[in-house]
Amino acid sequence: MTTKELKKKGKAAEAGALLAAAASGADLRYVGGRPVSFVHCSVASAASLRRALRRRLPIVAIVDKDTSDETAWSLRGSWSAAPEADPLSTVDVERLNRPLIALLLEGADAGALAPAGEGPDIVIAVRGDGDGGDVDLAVADVAGAEAAIAEALVVLQSVTHGRGTVVPPAPGSLTDVVPFELDGAYDMTDVVARLVDGGRTVPIARPHAAGVSTALASIGGIPVGIMASRPERDQGRLDSAEIRRIERFVRLTGALRLPLVSLVDTAGERWSDSADLLGALRDALLAVQSPATPKCVVITGRAYGLGAALMGAVAARADYVVAWARADLAGRAYTEDDELGPLATSPFAAVEAAVIHEVLEPDATRQALIDVLGSLTTVGADEGSDGH
């Protein structure tokens, strides 16, 4: 069936797409009204894999307990690493530049997959506990997986097909949900909802690193990756798992060519296991210092220490850094009677020195991001940005 025929057929082909594809080895199906190539890695032949790649459609690769490591690895990265060993080496996958989602059925080994940036863009596990380290989203059943794929494709499709429709964010003023006082509690989810189109995101969730949230969304019709610290949890301090999550998400947005929007309200890092934390910091700093895509940073509250640097507050390279008037910038977490005296800098002092670009009213943030992203995303999808 050609793509054209499939489009004519429309949503009628959607029902049971995932399971039907799993049985047939490779197939074209609709998910959420969008054509998708399904490939079952245990069943599909090399020829059908090649056909799927050449369709230039998003691919959902199904991996089960019978899928060999070699096949799983060949989903993306290993082709460029060892092209002579792979029957699909004639296909320039990076050039085709379309999303690749891996779906792990029950019993599949997440460790067989290459890491994000080299392997699949998103890894969804059915009935997995999400603790495998490389799983982005754990769902309860196949139906849940189909819904998650449809959600992800809403964003991922727009990566290769330009801007989507602009939808207003969640209603209400940000100043109503965020108190001006630095110690005032608020839920960062409310902030995100008032910045993104429709107030809606596709969470890239990892249950064991809940101190930071990561999601795909659109702002002004421009698809973006959003990461945000969660000040309601221990003042947004980051432990090693959360730092690894940041690293993986930065790499993921790079692989998807998505601009990154970072919302920062963190008191720094949580030194529970120093060696582990140092290792995570090292890896993550390398990732955030050389992002493959544009990065915009909004400092909504505390921006302390390496945690804030990781999220792009000041030290890491960013294309656009703004702060709200309630923000507080410091090299490390501090107390009022700190022996080193006042350590913090107000956002006004920071902008006076041109260390950040702007101090913004919270409700002006969305429009500012749209304006900046509109400029930054004029670069071709296959071109990264370079540093200062």
Residue ranges binding other proteins (CB under 8 A): 175, 180, 294, 319-320, 325-326, 346, 348-349, 351-355, 357-359, 361-362, 371, 374-376, 378-380, 383, 385-388
Two tokens at 84?
A: 């002579």
Nearer to other proteins by C-beta: 74 or 345?
345
CA-to-CA distance for 334 and 343, rounded, in angstroms?
A: 7
CA atoms within 13 A on the CB side of 184: 13
Q: List all residues 6 or more positions away from 347 whose beta carbon is below 8 Å from its beta carbon.
A: 299, 323, 324, 325, 327, 329, 356, 359
Nearer to other proteins by C-beta: 76 or 326?
326
Closest approach, Cβ 380 to other proteins, in A, equals 7
Closest approach, Cβ 326 to other proteins, in A, equals 7
CA-to-CA distance for 56 and 97, rounded, in angstroms?
A: 8
Do 281 and 243 meet the contact criterion of CB atoms below 8 Å apart? yes
Nearer to other proteins by C-beta: 251 or 357?
357
Closest approach, Cβ 366 to other proteins, in A, equals 14
Closest approach, Cβ 63 to other proteins, in A, equals 36
Closest approach, Cβ 377 to other proteins, in A, equals 8
Nearer to other proteins by C-beta: 90 or 173?
173
Closest approach, Cβ 168 to other proteins, in A, equals 21
At 29, the amino acid letter reads R
- C-alpha pair distances (Å), 271 with each of 100, 247, 267, 268: 36, 18, 12, 9
Residue 107 main-chain phi, psi, to 5 deg: 90, -10
Nearer to other proteins by C-beta: 66 or 361?
361
Nearer to other proteins by C-beta: 45 or 375?
375
Closest approach, Cβ 328 to other proteins, in A, equals 9
Closest approach, Cβ 345 to other proteins, in A, equals 11
Closest approach, Cβ 235 to other proteins, in A, equals 19
Nearer to other proteins by C-beta: 44 or 313?
313
Nearer to other proteins by C-beta: 40 or 295?
295
Nearer to other proteins by C-beta: 66 or 383?
383
